[in-house]
Amino acid sequence: MELVLMDAMPLLWRRRFLSSLLLFLMLPSLFSWTPASSTLEQGAILQEVKESGWITQNIPSWVAGTDPCVSSWAGIDCDTMGNVITLNLTHVGLNGPVPNALGGLTSLIILDLGNNKMCTVCGPWNHVSGDLAPLANLVKLETLILTSNEISLSSFPMAVLRLKKLSDLRLDNTLIKGEIPVQLSTLSNLQYLYLGNNSFTGTIPGGVLGSLTNLKELAIWGNALTGLIPAELGNLANLTYLNLNKNNLYGGLPPELGKLAQLQKLLLYKNKFTGPIPDEWRGMVNIQDLEANANSLYGALPQWLLKMPSLSMLQLSNNQLRGETLSILNVSTTPGLKFLHVECNYLEGVKPQSQNITAFFDYNCWENESSLDSACVRPLNCMNFLLSINNGKCPACPSGQHLVNTTTCICYGDPERSSSTFRFAAVIGVAVAGVVLVLLLLLSYFLWRARHKTKKQVLVSHPDYFETEMGGSMRRASGIQYWEVPRGVHHFSMEELMKATNEFGKANEIGQGGFGKVFVGNFPDGRTLAIKRAGPANYSSASGLVQFRNEVSLLSRLHHKNLVQLEGFCDDGGQQILVYEYMKLGNLHSHLHGEHQGKDIVLNWYKRLEIAVNVAQALDYLHSFADPPVIHRDVKPSNILLDDNLVAKVADFGISKESSEFDTHVSTKPAGTAGYFDPQYFLLRQLTTASDVYGFGVVLLELITGRKAIEFHCPDEESSNLVEWTKGKMEAGHGGIESVVDPKLEGNYPRELFVSLVELGLKCASFKRNLRPTMKFAVSVLEPLLQESERLPQNFSPSQSLPSSTSTSNMPGDIVSDNRNNRQILDSYTRIEMDTVLFPR
């Protein structure tokens, strides 16, 4: 009968019946579903990675035999099918080559191995290394992050170039060398490419990068790239961020970049660009931040640039811009501009005024204003610059470049010749080279003879070399070579210094530091100089003399109005003596704490602010403009000296603080003074520019409070430490600014201004290094405060109101008047580029 019924059913209903029956029979298996075996296999792969020793820190949630997707392993994300698609191994101390097992996670879409440059108690720095070969199997990868690992490859990792689906590639801060490969053009899906702070050489491959039309962010800063910015970068219509700073790029700024209508941030500073800012850049209608400082740009400051509606930050300092600009800058003439830096150029006319804009105009060629060229890093002073270009000439090209366009004054790094010219020059060159070679060989021989005689005389005057000449160990003298005295530094004889100091008599002794004793010397030409004589421990070896001469060479290149100037040296008989300008009023420590011998000088509030600005400018010069950059390592009041006019100058900086890896860090032996020493040194074993910032923060608080960095007579730690004491006093209900400021000021100071100074001091003296601003930022806060303070009486009382000429609406960024805006400005340094925030300054 059932068969009869089935046969009687229509075909369509028969099929539906069978489908329902099949589904009913499958229900038990659906409800008893277990994870796919592939998920457990991926868990086993991760366990193998963990057990390989590559991950040096424990990850408790990674338990063998459990499912990484169901058990929520740390750093793991899975898709609905149970495949591991995200692996985040940041800050877990990865150390060594990528294990082969990792290549088995073929479903990975996101792999983040960044920021593993960690120091362990037991050994050296941890970081990912090797050729990254196992990563070539991860063909589904869309995001690969290796930021801040010292991979140190001699060329671009080829395994990465096999990952054709990549849209986000971050190989910044990895110390990779070689040229940027042409194979990058095959990664056509790239939207974010970060190659900054490496050691790439050669030119920027325009054809390669220009073909990656999906790019939104491109960063290749901090390399050794040379040549021009390729015009092909103008093809990247989706680009919002372009960072090419700190390379050796030259030539003119390419007009083609004006086609980047989506571009918001363009960073070109610290290259060797020449010529004008192209008018075609008007097309960057969304530009918000344009920084091209520390180049050799020449021409007028375009008025249209100042009026770009989206532009908020314009940084063009330390160039060769000239001509007149707007006399008044405010929201009506510059609708979007908030920060303008044009200091250290050759701008003319009446110095502009700024309203509601934080602007920096110093060290230009304004009318009726003296130019302080000693604080400005530029080739010529105003007079010489204007004389050199008044005949329609272009300014001199940067070193190693030559003029190729006399209309726009653009220079190139290498001569461009036609092939025929080159062949002709080659024939002539070969003939001339033969003659020159013979002459050079003869000249070299005679120079060698002359230097050998000179060297022999020097070596005999030093004990180590006397033994060598008499047949002793040659190794003791092998470190010393012929040395040419730097220009501008006087080579004093020991006899001169003996006479000037009464044979280094006790009456002439004015101090003693880590280097040795300091004497005052009076010279026949009427000069009074400070003479620092090293103790015997510093010059008892040949290597010590080499280091001393290197130090003299370095110090001879440091010139700033707020650095104590090196006048000369003496190395007769292996001595190590440095001769500096004499600072008559001694050091800041003695004036703040009543230990100055002689006339008692009470520093008023304005003078304290001025000293803070002087010190900040000096440290900013050492960090940003010295070549090579210098970390002071011992910023404290006793190393801040005062001249007759109470102008502050920083002393005691030298070769031991020179940084050859300035964009990363300097690991060195401890140095500094308790209370001013970077507290994170003992955690990270690094001294960086941020260490100087910490010391400056303590000095700034010391200027405000009159207290020492550490008061040893206080009953508890919080009271004895200046930073902690100031924090406690500034908290609500604990006295505030009135309980902090030095009682010697007797209430004569502008309250709001001093609140700003305390906030900046505490920011600089933050325990965590990444919370401290740079010295450049500190200068940008302090200089406007000093400029506005010039309008205030120096015996200013908190009970007085601000004079109308200093109404808070006219003050840059409302820095003084509004504590809320103060905090905004002091916090703005956290807008650090994504590719620099991960490395300590």
What whole-number distance in Å separates Cα of residue 119 and Cα of residue 95?
11
Average pLDDT for the chain: 78
> Which pLDDT score, from 0 to 100, does residue 140 have?
96
Buried b (16+ CB within 10 A) or exposed e, 579-616: bbbbbebbbbbbbbeeebeeeeeebbbbbbbbbbbbbb
pLDDT bracket for residue 574 (50, 70, 90): confident
CATH code of the domain covering residue 353: 3.80.10.10
Per the model's pLDDT, the better-predicted residue between 126 and 287 turns out to be: 287
Binding-site residues sit at 532
> Which pLDDT score, from 0 to 100, does residue 478 have?
35
Per-residue DSSP letter, 710: B
> Which pLDDT score, from 0 to 100, does residue 824 have?
39
What whole-number distance in Å separates Cα of residue 693 and Cα of residue 621?
13
Share of the chain above pLDDT 90, in %: 43
- Angle 641-699-652 from CA coordinates, rounded to 5°: 40
> Which pLDDT score, from 0 to 100, does residue 360 have?
86
In the sheet that holds 248-251, the strands lie side by side as: 226-227, 248-251, 272-275, 296-300, 320-324, 346-348
The domain tally of the chain equals 1
What whole-number distance in Å separates Cα of residue 746 and Cα of residue 318?
41
Q: Give which of 55, 51, 123 is closest to 93, Cα–Cα.
A: 55
Residue 322 domain-assigned (yes or no): yes
What's phi and psi for 199, nearest 5 deg? -125, 35
Residue 304 domain-assigned (yes or no): yes
What whole-number distance in Å separates Cα of residue 587 and Cα of residue 640?
6
Q: What is the pLDDT of residues 500-535, one digit of tens each?
A: 999 999 999 988 766 778 999 999 888 899 999 887
Per-residue DSSP letter, 303: H
> Which pLDDT score, from 0 to 100, does residue 726 have?
93
What is the distance between the terminal CA atoms of the chain, rounded to a whole angstrom?
Answer: 90
Residue 734 domain-assigned (yes or no): no
Residue 401 domain-assigned (yes or no): yes
Residue 280 domain-assigned (yes or no): yes
Binding-site residues for ATP sit at 532
Taking a C-beta distance cutoff of 8 angstroms, is the pair 365, 384 a contact?
no
pLDDT bracket for residue 334 (50, 70, 90): confident
Lowest mean pLDDT among 121-130, 262-271, 326-335: 121-130
Residue 306 domain-assigned (yes or no): yes
Catalytically active residues are 634
Name 510's Cβ contacts closer than 8 Å, sequence gap at least 6: 518, 519, 520, 530
What whole-number distance in Å separates Cα of residue 365 and Cα of residue 350?
9
Residue 289 domain-assigned (yes or no): yes
Name 491's Cβ contacts closer than 8 Å, sequence gap at least 6: 485, 568, 569, 570
Residue 375 domain-assigned (yes or no): yes
Share of the chain above pLDDT 70, in %: 72
Residue 390 domain boundaries:
245-417
Look at residue 682 and tell me whether its pLDDT is greater than 80. Answer: no
Per the model's pLDDT, the better-predicted residue between 556 and 196 turns out to be: 196
> Which pLDDT score, from 0 to 100, does residue 62 have?
93
Q: What is the pLDDT of residues 290-316, one digit of tens each?
A: 999 999 999 999 989 988 999 999 999
